[in-house]
Amino acid sequence: MVNMAGIKRARGNKRDVCLGCGESSFTKDYARGENICTSCGLVASDRIVDRGPEWRSFTTEERDARSRTGAPMRLSIADKGLSTIIDWRNRDASGRAITTNTRAAIYRMRKWHIRSRVHSSHHRNLGIAMSEMERLSSQLGIPREARETAALIYRKALAKRLVRGRSIESVVAASIYLACRIHRIPRRLDEIVAEARTNRKQISQAVRLVISRVNVDVPLASAEDLIPRLSSDLRLEGKTVRKATEIIKQAREGRITIGKDPGGIAGAALYIAGIIEEDRRTQREIAKVSHVTEVTIRNRYKELVRSLGIAFVTDF
């Protein structure tokens, strides 16, 4: 039986077996949301759900100190997950009427409570934004860590009044996109556009705006980060994957990757690696998974071969 993630589950045997090499050891890369075979590098599933606590502990005392009741504190909840509500009824918890003395105090508390939370447009905005962020990032299978980063970026953007005059959705989508870039999770802008409720133009505008106005360090998308995803789609062998990574590293040192579509570079590297390691895929197959055309694969491939001096000599 084979499930969508590409993990074969043998009957009567609970161990997951890699489709690429038959081994059964996997490394869980929570940061990227990927499940990677340790012997051949096949990405078995890129939608892992992390069910563990958000902290690590090594001793019992530490664990006790960190454990707490209630939901974990999270940035991706509008009021950071720690909220209390002051009810409108002048009754206490057991339903008894509250005395006039305490009533005045309650009124004061209520007033500030409302001023600081419910009536603030800031919080209303966050409420909408965080539920939208939750929807979008679940849809896209974004790991929790990156969701928190996205939430932080959104909060910063909101604080700088960048959301004014723009749709909340577009800034949310932009925050998620940037969080993916920061965490080196390969997600193209188009993938986010497909799930978002605004158009591409608005999102890319928001992306540019956030980069220029919010103090976030966003690394450029690199071809290396695409390799696990592409090579798993192409069912390439571990040695081919390693070769491709090596080629990209050299290309970057030779400074020929600047300004080029990382998909094209990753695709070309895999094409060359495939020829060298005799684990070949056609240009068409590679072009399809890397979302560039065969022509681009060819151009990158020619550039790489020329500037890295790669010779396809098979010596006997």
Q: What's 12's DSSP letter?
A: T
Report in angstroms the alpha-carbon separations of 265 from 138, 227, 272: 29, 10, 11
DSSP letter for each residue of 149-186: HHHHHHHHHHHTT-STTS-HHHHHHHHHHHHHHHTT--
Segment contacting DNA by CB under 7 A, of 25-33, 170-178, 230-238, 295-303: 295-303
Does 204 interact with DNA (rule: CB under 7 A)? yes
* Whether the Cβ atoms of residue 133 and residue 151 lie closer than 8 Å to each other: yes
Does 293 interact with DNA (rule: CB under 7 A)? yes
* Whether the Cβ atoms of residue 165 and residue 155 lie closer than 8 Å to each other: no
243 phi, psi to nearest 5 deg: -60, -45
Q: Which of 80, 122, 156, 200 binds DNA (CB under 7 A)?
A: 200
Q: How many CB atoms lie within 10 A of CB 242?
A: 15
Q: Which of 95, 165, 259, 309 binds DNA (CB under 7 A)?
A: 259
- Taking each helix axis from N to C terminus, what angle separates 168-182 and 121-140, rounded to the nearest 10 degrees? 50
Residue among 32 and 300 whose Cβ is closer to DNA? 300
Does 261 interact with DNA (rule: CB under 7 A)? yes
* Size of site (CB under 7 A) for DNA: 23
Residue among 162 and 223 whose Cβ is closer to DNA? 223
Q: Which of 130, 173, 292, 304 binds DNA (CB under 7 A)?
A: 292
Of residues 86 through 105, those in contact with DNA by CB under 7 A are none
DSSP letter for each residue of 256-308: --TTS-HHHHHHHHHHHHHHHTT----HHHHHHHHTS-HHHHHHHHHHHHHHH
Does 299 interact with DNA (rule: CB under 7 A)? yes
Instruction: For the CB of residue 146, give the shortest distance to DNA in the complex, in Å.
Output: 22
Residue among 222 and 299 whose Cβ is closer to DNA? 299
Instruction: For the CB of residue 295, give the shortest distance to DNA in the complex, in Å.
Output: 4
Residue among 128 and 308 whose Cβ is closer to DNA? 308
Q: What span, in angstroms and rounded, lies between the C-alpha atoms of 286 and 300?
A: 13
Q: What span, in angstroms and rounded, lies between the C-alpha atoms of 85 and 281?
A: 60
Strand order from edge to edge, sheet including 26-29: 26-29, 34-37, 43-45
Does 298 interact with DNA (rule: CB under 7 A)? yes
Instruction: For the CB of residue 147, give the shortest distance to DNA in the complex, in Å.
Output: 25
Using CB atoms within 10 Å of the CB of residue 131, give its burial: 0 to 12 exposed, 13 to 18 middle, 19+ buried: middle
Instruction: For the CB of residue 284, give the shortest distance to DNA in the complex, in Å.
Output: 6
Instruction: For the CB of residue 217, give the shortest distance to DNA in the complex, in Å.
Output: 18
Segment contacting DNA by CB under 7 A, of 57-65, 71-79, 101-109, 286-294: 286-294
Does 188 interact with DNA (rule: CB under 7 A)? no
Does 222 interact with DNA (rule: CB under 7 A)? no
Segment contacting DNA by CB under 7 A, of 67-75, 81-89, 165-173, 278-286: 278-286
Residue among 48 and 189 whose Cβ is closer to DNA? 189
- The pairing of strands 26-29 and 16-18 is unpaired
Instruction: For the CB of residue 208, give the shortest distance to DNA in the complex, in Å.
Output: 6
Q: What's 230's DSSP letter?
A: H
Residue among 7 and 192 whose Cβ is closer to DNA? 192
Interface ranges with DNA (CB under 7 A): 200-201, 204, 208, 259-261, 264, 280, 282-284, 291-296, 298-302
